[in-house]
Chain A
Amino acid sequence: MDEPRLHALMVRSLAGDAPAYREFLSTATGELRAFVRRRLFSGPDEAEDVVQEVLLAVHLKRHTYDPGLPVSAWLYAIARYKLVDHLRRGKRRGVSAPVEAAEGEADVNTVEDGAHRRDIERLLTRLPAKQRRAIELVKLQQLSVREAAAAASMSEADIKVSVHRGLKTLSRLVAEDDAP
Chain B
Amino acid sequence: MKAKDMKTDDLIQSLSETAQPVRKGRATITFIAAALAALAVCVGIVLLSGQVRADFSEHMTAVLAKAAFSGLLVLATAPAMLWLVHPGRSAGLWIAIGVAVTAVAIVVGVLAVMAGRGELAAALGAGGRPVVFVLIPLLAMPAGWVFFTWGRRYAPTRLALSGAAAGALSGGIAAASYALVCPVDEAMFVATWYTASVVLCGLIGAALGRILLRW
Chain A residues in the interface with B (C-beta under 8 A): 13-19, 21-22, 25-26, 29, 44-45, 48, 51-52, 55-57, 59, 61-67, 69-70, 73-78, 80-81, 85
Contact = CB atoms under 8 A, between A and B. Distances in A.
A25 B88 CA distance: 18
B24 A66 contact: yes
Contacts of B26: 63
Interface residues of B, number: 33
B13 interface: yes
Contacts, number: 100
A76 B26 CA distance: 22
A134 B214 CA distance: 36
A44 B2 CA distance: 10
Main secondary structure of the interface of A (DSSP, over half): helix
A78 B87 contact: yes
B21 A73 contact: no
Given A52-B7, A64-B154, A29 B12 contact: yes
14 contacts: A18-B16, A26-B12, A44-B4, A48-B7, A48-B8, A51-B8, A63-B154, A65-B86, A66-B86, A73-B88, A74-B86, A74-B87, A76-B88, A77-B90
B22 A62 contact: yes
B161 to A, nearest CB: 12
Interface string B71-92: 0000000000000011111100
Given A59-B15, A63-B23, A77 B87 contact: yes
Contacts of A52: 7-8, 11
Nearest to B86: A64
